[in-house]
Structure 1
Amino acid sequence: MVNEPSRLSAQDWARAALEAIAKGGLAAVAVEPLARTLGVTKGSFYAHYRTRDELVAAALTEWTRSHGADGLSWYADIADPEQRLRELVTAVVQAVQPLAPSVHLSLLGDRNDPRVRDAVRQVNQARLEVLTQTYRELGLSPERAASRARVAYAAILGLMHLAQTDPDGTDPAVLADEATAAFLPRA
């Protein structure tokens, strides 16, 4: 059954574009294949966007919102910094399914596109701010907190990459516990 164009929102199209980006980068965002995936005609697309570039911009805005400051607000509200760190790491490790595509990692292949560079910068900045604040609350100086946040974030991105490329890797719960233990400052 084909959905009526009016039933799909601009956000539905943006989310479909994000799924395409995760699987194949910006080049995978094409109106006809997305319309087929969504079960609609191209007319549905044009009811919301004038151009593919508008859709790409909307998809990047959605990703920045959902994976940047807005998406992290729940974690930032966790009062105990050790628990916050544990929840962040667990969410990353357990949410990424083996061999599942990642928008973040796929966007790195398009990092020369200024829109992508800006979106990745915004998401990275929001994530680093939460991690830096967490390490400050765990007792590290501002400089050490910022450095530790960068190292932890680099490791988290590495864990995302491993989860995508190593289907026989360690159990996600065990990996989350080990990563959290490694990321916590020692007394």
Structure 2
Amino acid sequence: MTVSVNPVQKGHVMEEKNDRQVWLDAGLQTLVEEGVEGLRIMSIAKRLGVTKGSFYWHFKNLEAYQCALLAEWERRYTQAPIEAAADGEASAYQQLRSLFCGTPAMALRLGRAMRAWAITDDRVHAVQTRVDHQRVGHVAHLLEAIGWTREESLTLGRWAYCAFIGEAALTGSPMSDAQTQLVLSVLTPRRLG
């Protein structure tokens, strides 16, 4: 597989201001395709059609690059979506539905790659733990907004997130709209008046 990044624009090598982001995008794509073993400076430089000097312009070493990849993953796939949801006009129920059926395949594949990496690297494990905490907290917040108590929301938020991770790990077709609706109906409180 190849990295889906175009480092050449209008016949010129990557522009300086975009260079760092291209390296980050290529690193995240490499994690999906090859795992952490694929994060080698020369092989990514070759894929991008640049020299390793381009890498060292933005990153001190491979460890710094890996730290930047972790920060980019957390920002792009946890913090940014949570912030966007908070700024949007979608209801809590609509946001839950979007989480369950609107998560891009790249995010799911990258999540699996990060979990695999976290098994062997304490630094990645710490980031993964923080991301899981943020995501469970966000789901719990949405569940509380649709009518669960705070305590119920925390329990159901953790359960729903664990189920989501498990679903993402399965191979095959994603859940249908009817299946997603059933899951959401289980998460919707039914209070007797």
8 Å CA contact 1:104–1:120 kept in 2: the answer is: no
SS in 2 for 1:40: coil
8 Å CA contact 2:143–2:153 kept in 1: the answer is: yes
- The one-letter amino acid of 1:24's match is E
Find the counterpart in structure 1 of residue 185 from structure 2: 181
Find the counterpart in structure 2 of residue 119 from structure 1: 127
Find the counterpart in structure 2 of residue 40 from structure 1: 50
8 Å CA contact 2:70–2:124 kept in 1: the answer is: yes
Structure 2 CA distance for partners of 1:106 and 1:170, relative to 1, 3 Å: closer
- The one-letter amino acid of 1:85's match is L
53, 69, 80: which one aligns with 2:91 = 80
Distance 2:44 2:176 in 1: 32
Deviation at 1:139, TM superposition (A): 1.7
Deviation at 1:122, TM superposition (A): 2.2
Find the counterpart in structure 2 of residue 148 from structure 1: 156
Find the counterpart in structure 1 of residue 105 from structure 2: 96
- Higher relative CO (Cα under 8 Å, sequence separation at least 6) belongs to 1
Deviation at 1:175, TM superposition (A): 4.1
Deviation at 1:86, TM superposition (A): 1.2
Deviations 1:84-124 (CA, angstroms, capped at 9, x unpaired): 211221212xx227xx9712111212224122112212221
User: Does the alignment pair 1:108 with 2:112?
Assistant: no
Give the unaligned 5+ runs of structure 2: 1-7
- The one-letter amino acid of 2:48's match is L
Distance 1:47 1:151 in 2: 44
Find the counterpart in structure 2 of residue 158 from structure 1: 166
Greater Cα shift, 148-157 or 41-50:
41-50
User: Does the alignment pair 1:9 with 2:19?
Assistant: yes
RMSD: 2.4
8 Å CA contact 2:108–2:168 kept in 1: the answer is: no
Distance 1:85 1:105 in 2: 21
Structure 2 CA distance for partners of 1:59 and 1:79, relative to 1, 3 Å: same
Please report the TM-score for the alignment, with normalisation by the length of structure 1.
Answer: 0.83
8 Å CA contact 2:136–2:158 kept in 1: the answer is: yes
Deviation at 1:4, TM superposition (A): 2.4
SS in 1 for 2:102: helix
SS in 2 for 1:154: helix
